[in-house]
Amino acid sequence: MSYWNRVLGAPHTREAYAAFVRAQDERLGAFLEFDPERRNTADRGTEDGRGAGGHRRGVGLLAGLPVAVKDNIAVAGFRLTCGSRFLEALRCPYTATAVRRLEAAGARVVGKTNLDEFGMGSSTDNSALGVTNNPYDHARVAGGSSGGSAAAVAAGLVPLALGSDTGGSVRQPASFCGVYGFKPTYGAVSRYGLVAFASSLDVVGACARDLDTLEAAFAAMRGLDERDHSSLAPEADTGAGSAVPAGGAEVRAVGVLTGLEGLAPGVQAAYASTIAKLRGRGYELREISLNTLQYVVPAYYTIATAEASANLARYNGVRYGARPEMADNPDELVRTARDEGFGPEVKLRILLGTYVLRSGFQDQYYLRAQRIRTAIRNELNRAFEQVQVILTPTVPVLPFAHGEGELTAFEQKLADQFTATASLAGIPALSVPGEWADGLPVGMQLLAPAFAENRLWALGRELGEAGTPPDYPAFPEWAASAGYRLDLG
């Protein structure tokens, strides 16, 4: 039986599916654009019928799977707003490589999801185009910047959603919404078609309710792309992952962090509970300390804002995007376009990045942050000589209320400590659901060496079996299955 027959009871149509999603999304705000009628890119002959993992079109776990895509990733025929007024009217003429490869494996893009403007934020409240609510408590945020993707998956609107992850933008909302959130090794998935925020950190990641779907999506998307010089062919993977089979027995020793401070009580309890579960399942738990952890947030925001300043310089109101109706000269046109088009958080990060790149300041800030980044990577490499995987909380706080009543913008940035660690090192990471505190999801993050994604799948399945989250209040029973399909024929 097809997915949507199971969803709505046969016989059913695309119109019935669209009505179902739109009704659910009225109170969620996950989608900026929803169009299940859009024709698959692969059907138009722009892909060779195979994904990067060798899947034939329409065959395998991804065949017929409805997929949502964060609205800073290009999909032909949809808008590409980046959650910004600057690009609100832009209709995308091309499709990102990662999306084309998913479509070639049979997946069907059905809509674009909400995000913090240009991926800059931890709540999706920074979107200029809408508000996304946490599926478990609408007064709280879904996380960010891929909040729309995580919320759509958690609410059962789609089984798989793509997002971008620069400093935790897939993993943090996945933790807040109680789903799996995956960041691949930098270079494993092409960035072609992903709107640049911080080019040395940005990756295309994904959220899903089950690991089989997430692993299949990664297998389809990964691989060399001639349009992205930072991408790598799977056979070029030189990390330990190329030699690590999928079996859980290959992960024996797990590193746990000592001396953690500033965790919310619910997160602290969930971390202790996860450690106890792993110990009870026979894993060797080794305490490790990361001395560079205290430098992660300042190093990340120095590098990310500097790269954002350079990347966002292209938005000037001339070639595309918002343009003021009147301007006396070119300089005024650019100033007015940026003033009207960018939101406060984007302006703040551009100003910070421009400052640290000024002549005389690069050595003091940007280059120093890059040296700290190298120290973080080296310390993690030494840790991985002792353990196969490192366990951390995904986020040190629980999902917080909309606005700054519970967590200020500065405190939200400090909460990126664990997720940004993996981003600076360029290693893969997985946020695993299953723990709960005060009725809210708490994710646990697994870190592995570069290209050792198989270790994440293995241990993630162990943790996933250890605890099943309660259903989302309107979450239908059919959405918990990995076997659903969308028939758009």
Tell me, yes or no, if the pTM score tops 0.85.
yes
102-155 confidence digits (pLDDT tens)? 999 999 999 999 999 999 999 999 999 999 999 999 999 999 999 999 999 999
Give residue 479's pLDDT. 42
Q: pLDDT tier at 52 (50, 70, 90 boundaries)? A: very low
Give residue 489's pLDDT. 41
Count CA atoms within 13 Å of residue 114 on its CB side: 28
Burial of 144 (0-12, 13-18, 19+ CB in 10 A): buried
Give residue 294's pLDDT. 96
User: At 426, phi and psi to the nearest 5?
Assistant: 75, 20
Over 280-342, what HEC string results? HCCCEEEEECCHHHHHHHHHHHHHHHHHHHHHHHHCCCCCCCCCCCCCCCHHHHHHHHHHHHC
Higher-confidence residue of 481 and 234: namely: 234
Cα distances (angstroms) measured from residue 467 to each of 277, 402, 459, 461, 480? 10, 28, 13, 10, 14
Give residue 464's pLDDT. 78
pLDDT at 45 over 90: no
Q: What is the mean pLDDT of residues 319-348?
A: 92
For the annotated catalytic residues, the residue numbers are: 70, 145, 169
pLDDT at 241 over 50: no
Compute the distance between CA of residue 154 and CA of residue 157 in angstroms, rounded to an integer.
8
Give residue 64's pLDDT. 86
Q: pLDDT tier at 203 (50, 70, 90 boundaries)? A: very high
Domain 3-254+381-480 has CATH 3.90.1300.10: yes
Compute the distance between CA of residue 247 and CA of residue 342 in angstroms, rounded to an integer.
47
Closest CA to 144 of 456, 353, 453, 395: 395
pLDDT at 47 over 50: no
